[in-house]
Amino acid sequence: MRSHGFPPFYKAFYAVTFIVIAAILLRPARSPSRTHTSAPLNGKPKLVLLLVIDGFRADRLTKFDDLFGEGGFKRLMERGAWFTNAHYGHATTYTAAGHAVIATGAYANRNGMVSNDWHDREKKSRVYCCEDDAAQVLGELTKRHGGTSPKNLLSTTVGDELRMSNNLQSKSIAISLKDRGAILLGGKLGTAYWWSSATGRFVTTTKYAQDYPAWVKQFNDARYADRYFGKEWTRLLPESAYTQSVRDDRPYEIDMLGNGRTFPHKITGRLDKPGSDFYEALEWTPFADELTLEFAKAAVTNEQLGKRNITDFLSISLSAHDMICHLFGPESQEAADIVLRLDRMLADFFQFLDQQIGMDHVIVALTADHGFMPTPEWSVELGLDAGRIDPEKMTQALNDALSAKFGSDRWVEAFWNPALYLNHTAMKAHGVPARDVEEAAADFLRSYPGIAECLTRTQILSGRVPDTALSRRVVKAFHRERSGDVIVVPKPLWYLHKKPTEYAATHGSPYAYDTHVPVILMGEPFRSGVYATLIDVVDVAPTLANVLGIAAPTLCEGRVLHEAIQQAENKDGGGRKR
């Protein structure tokens, strides 16, 4: 008897056809605004975007999350692997030290970046972290002790290793307001650009090029910064939205070049037209980050980053948050406002990358170089033990004490936070062993107001430091050739800076408010989620190297954050786990 149903072949054919049509109809629509057309690079990203927000404490993301939009920080927090318990393992939480850790996956005891500045014993002078007499700024005067090259960085970076992995075909470009922010992220083989407050341009040096590319000249000739002359920095939202911040006007906030202590902040540098004081005043406002990201957009477009069938590396260090917290304190309304504005700026930049490259082909790593202490006066208002230490008075008192003990002389040669450099010539002249002078200095300072602890060079090099978390942090920040003889650690909430009243607040301590920063990794290789396990910021560099399939930086000591990396399925047909 003949069947009236469909033969098995036709049943299978119609079933497959139905599935294919349904898949096409139900497939999510792609954004019509995207202009990119190139295919993925054998599973590798087209662009790695390393974002560093200067002074961005981890609680910035949770304190203001109800005021964020959808495309900036929330995009990272919801789609990325968000490590909520990331800390620096070193004691010297300064800009140069932090940027070097992020880029190299190593601490100063290896990479050499002991602080923003240190003392050269032979030359008896200051060394700035990125100074190099062999390199000069293109087209303008090179400042004494100005940043010009990564000569003093002793390790390669992730960007360097990426370039070396493919015979320098990848591009690595680093951009920042600060020279050290760009130079240290750019590494030995990248190209760094940073802001010049002298001219209102983005500059580089002879380390990187003999002349500016045409697109940089065009950007600088457009005088983008001048458009902000006379502009007012006002609150992004109504004042009623800033309930988690303190009152607007406090006497210990800093008026930088006429910007004022309260909203609105009118930016002129006290000038009648744009000039160097205006450009410097502009640095201390959110407009500086807007300029930095506009320059980054120009770099992406003109350098064809992510569009050349090779993985490129773009590092951006955004400095305004740090500078604003210095002037007003992290608890201020200004500090809250820059966070909210950064959220909108990042949303705009991600949208730009989505149009140019496609965010599904971009890896984003977001972190910070350090956190920030509360303003000491505010801490005192709250009944906490806090205050300011004047380094000149401290070193003079120490010198008097050492003179009384060992004989009159200039026993303290220099102090560059957090290190005291003692006078070894005086030690020889008075016949006193270095160890004895170090110990006497440390004993005196331990009883000085605001000082918590001191570790000596002899202690550290002989391995005789106390078995404490604080000591381990100091050791990681100590370099045999560059660090001083006594490392000074302030008490929690005590301000220690070269000028005690230069800023409202600062950073540089081994305490949680300075060490706790966000780490978020977003992109195809990473499993999204919230990770509360304690991690170290040195882990960022080896993790990026791992997912790129390249060697880790030469002195890298971090681990791969394997818990956040997608694992290949052990099944026929491959695929990725989520």
Active site residues: 95
User: How far, in Å, CA of 22 to CA of 507, rounded?
Assistant: 57
Q: What does R_g of the chain's alpha carbons equal in angstroms?
A: 26
- Strands 387-389, 494-496: pairing kind: parallel
Contact 175/315 with Cβ under 8 angstroms? yes
Taking alpha carbons only, the member of 520, 70, 72 closest to residue 339 is 72
Taking alpha carbons only, the member of 207, 227, 204, 210 closest to residue 294 is 227
Contact 54/372 with Cβ under 8 angstroms? no
User: How far, in Å, CA of 209 to CA of 557, rounded?
Assistant: 32
Angle of helix 287-302 relative to helix 333-356, nearest 10 degrees, comes to 10
Contact 232/162 with Cβ under 8 angstroms? no
Angle of helix 214-221 relative to helix 287-302, nearest 10 degrees, comes to 150
User: How far, in Å, CA of 578 to CA of 573, rounded?
Assistant: 16
Chain CA centroid to CA 48, Å: 16
Reported for 420-425, long-range contacts at CB under 8 A and 24+ positions apart, including other chains, are 420/395, 420/484, 420/485, 420/486, 420/487, 420/488, 421/119, 421/121, 421/484, 421/485, 422/484, 422/485, 422/486, 424/121
The 3-class SS string of 528-569 reads: CEEECCCEEHHHHHHHHHHHHCCCCCCCCCCCCCHHHECCEC
DSSP code, position 382: T
Whether the link from the prior residue into 553 is cis, omega within 30° of 0, is no
Reported for 253-258, long-range contacts at CB under 8 A and 24+ positions apart, including other chains, are 253/327, 253/328, 253/329, 253/332, 253/504, 254/326, 254/327, 254/328, 254/502, 254/503, 254/504, 256/281, 256/284, 256/327, 257/281, 257/284
Q: Helix or strand or coil: residue 317?
A: strand
User: How far, in Å, CA of 208 to CA of 135, rounded?
Assistant: 9
Q: Helix or strand or coil: residue 126?
A: strand
Q: How far is CA 126 from CA 70, 426, 534, in A?
A: 46, 20, 36
- The half-sphere exposure of 361 on its side-chain side, counting CA atoms within 13 A, is 24
Contact 331/216 with Cβ under 8 angstroms? no
- Strands 516-522, 362-367: pairing kind: antiparallel
DSSP code, position 67: G
Burial class of residue 36 (count of CB atoms within 10 Å of its CB; 0-12, 13-18, 19+): middle
Q: Helix or strand or coil: residue 118?
A: strand
